[in-house]
Chain A
Amino acid sequence: MKLQLTDLSKSFDGHCVLDKVALTLDDVHTLVVIGPSGGGKSTLLRIMAGLEYPDAGTVAIDGESVKFDEVSLQRYRRTIGTVFQTFNLFPHLDALGNITLPLKKVHGYTSDEAADIARQILRRFHLEKHAHKRPAELSGGQRQRVAIARAVAIKPRLLLFDEPTSALDPEMTAEVLDLIGELRDEGRDLVLVTHAMGFARRIADQVALLAEGRIVEVGPVSQVFESPQTQQSRDFLARVLKY
């Protein structure tokens, strides 16, 4: 996947969250975005997911520029799978219903086709026993995996994860990260915002460090973690890798 961000800027209530963010990666499969809280990582991901309008700048994936008007964005969102930190699933639908809803109503599958696809994915993720459970009856890790299943079911060209494991305990974190690792091994393109540094090192091919709305450091994973170029990145990595 070719990813290009030029001069991307976004402010909320006068507070500048992204400040002319620029990034060009010609062939990236797994981009991990790290950085201090409030640095703009979530906002960047939401813009890439088509959920926020940037104040200025462009986003281009595989050469296609994303048009930021509601009609084009609605079409764009169908091609992207997004998984948030919490509250991905709809509480009134069971796991199967959560996955089939976008398949039926957005992508036009019939009920039977959608149910087949959903069951296949649940089986792959070892969740078929939980297909008829509501989110309230699932553990945090299971919920996140169903959310990932929903994102994957629509066969997106890009998967976006916004701190998918930050709200989970270590054991559930591991089960979700295993799954993300498998998806990456399948060859899917991912952009992942995470604080799980060990995991980031393992699966990323490119890493970008976003702090105070600007890309402070970007490059191949080994370069960023072993020989960071700026003092800011060195400080951040030292703090984060301490424990």
Chain B
Amino acid sequence: MNVKRLFFAPRDGGQTALSLAARVFNFILVGLLIALALYFSFQSLNYRWNWGAVYQYRQMFLDGWLTTIWISLVALGLSILIGLFFALGQRSRFLPLYCFSKFYVELIRGTPLLVQILIFFYIVASAIHLENRYVAGILILAIFSGAYITEIIRAGIESIGKSQLDSARAIGLTRLQTYRYVVLPQALRQTLPPLAGQFVSLIKDSSLLSIIAISEFTLNAQEVNSYTFSTLESYLPLAVGYLLLTLPISLWTRWLEKKMKYET
């Protein structure tokens, strides 16, 4: 076997011409190198691993992980609805709605999620007598993500050429029908990859909800840490747990992007 082939992709043909052997070899090689680097850096710390203590609290990890999953799913659903509403609102001829949509997007995208969580929970939620912190947490997460989804959907809608809108008008479709049968089917299909990316961000951003004592994954890991004083053993599983959620979605996003390329 040509050793060069194992390390370098062929000049023509690009990534798809990589042999299976080369792919497997390189993933194992890089994985080993990273593991070695981690091992030696931990060795130098003289750290006493205490996995036993953390293992006792494994149920907390599991509960937190599951809570993160359902919070993220609900927030995702809501944020897509919010995003769709404001994306269409930005194209509305009704000026108050148009201005409000722009205002919402700039305000939410321009401030940190941490600040928004604090303001929403301690000020807004109290004002409207919303006491359930889970509902408040999901709401602010959805509002936050919604602003980014608004821009994603808006870009998708605007990528539909004007000539198609002309065609739709010429055959007698109303504006609403044009959105429903021409613009949105195409726009939503094109926005699926960035939307999946936004879902990954949402899952990670949900970790900030720990500051209002929502018992999701990060907060649970912090509590285990405070019970066991084993910081690395509490937080490493935390990272792995998030990866378990985000990695499949990332891979699905890449597969979607490849699929979209052939269709155009």
Q: Is the CB of A106 within 8 A of B189?
A: no
If A86-B163, A87-B164, A101-B181 touch, whether A106 touches B186 (CB-CB below 8 Å) is: no
Q: Is the CB of A51 within 8 A of B169?
A: yes
User: For residue A84, which residues in chain B have a CB less than 8 angstroms away from its CB?
Assistant: 163, 166-167, 170
The minimal Cβ–Cβ distance linking B256 to chain A, given in whole angstroms, is: 16
If A105-B177, A136-B264 touch, whether A90 touches B170 (CB-CB below 8 Å) is: no
A102 to B169, CA, bound (A): 10
Chain A, residue nearest B163 (CB): A87
In chain B, residues 150-185, which have Cβ atoms closer than 8 Å to a Cβ of chain A? 161, 163-164, 166-174, 177, 181-182, 185
A82 to B168, CA, bound (A): 11
User: For residue A10, which residues in chain B have a CB less than 8 angstroms away from its CB?
Assistant: none
Chain B, residue nearest A153 (CB): B171
In chain A, residues 85-101, which have Cβ atoms closer than 8 Å to a Cβ of chain B? 86-92, 101
The secondary structure that dominates the A interface is loop
A78 within 8 A of B: yes
Number of A-B contacts (CB under 8 A): 54
A218 within 8 A of B: no
A205 to B185, CA, bound (A): 43
A154 to B172, CA, bound (A): 11
A32 within 8 A of B: no
User: For residue A51, which residues in chain B have a CB less than 8 angstroms away from its CB?
Assistant: 166, 169-170
In chain A, residues 44-88, which have Cβ atoms closer than 8 Å to a Cβ of chain B? 49, 51, 74, 77-78, 80, 82, 84, 86-88
The minimal Cβ–Cβ distance linking A108 to chain B, given in whole angstroms, is: 11
If A87-B164, A92-B185 touch, whether A82 touches B177 (CB-CB below 8 Å) is: no
The minimal Cβ–Cβ distance linking A184 to chain B, given in whole angstroms, is: 20
Among B167, B170, B189, max chain A CB count under 10 A is at B170
The minimal Cβ–Cβ distance linking A18 to chain B, given in whole angstroms, is: 18
Binary A-proximity of B12-36 (CB < 8 A = 1, otherwise 0): 0000000000000000000000000
A150 within 8 A of B: yes
If A78-B172, A105-B181 touch, whether A91 touches B166 (CB-CB below 8 Å) is: no
User: For residue B161, which residues in chain A have a CB less than 8 angstroms away from its CB?
Assistant: 87
User: For residue B163, which residues in chain A have a CB less than 8 angstroms away from its CB?
Assistant: 84, 86-87
User: For residue B172, which residues in chain A have a CB less than 8 angstroms away from its CB?
Assistant: 74, 77-78, 102, 106-107, 154
User: For residue B185, which residues in chain A have a CB less than 8 angstroms away from its CB?
Assistant: 92
Q: Is the CB of A77 within 8 A of B167?
A: no
The minimal Cβ–Cβ distance linking B28 to chain A, given in whole angstroms, is: 41
Residues of chain B at the chain A interface (Cβ within 8 Å): 161, 163-164, 166-174, 177, 181-182, 185-186, 189, 263-264
Residues of chain A at the chain B interface (Cβ within 8 Å): 49, 51, 74, 77-78, 80, 82, 84, 86-92, 101-102, 105-107, 136, 150, 154
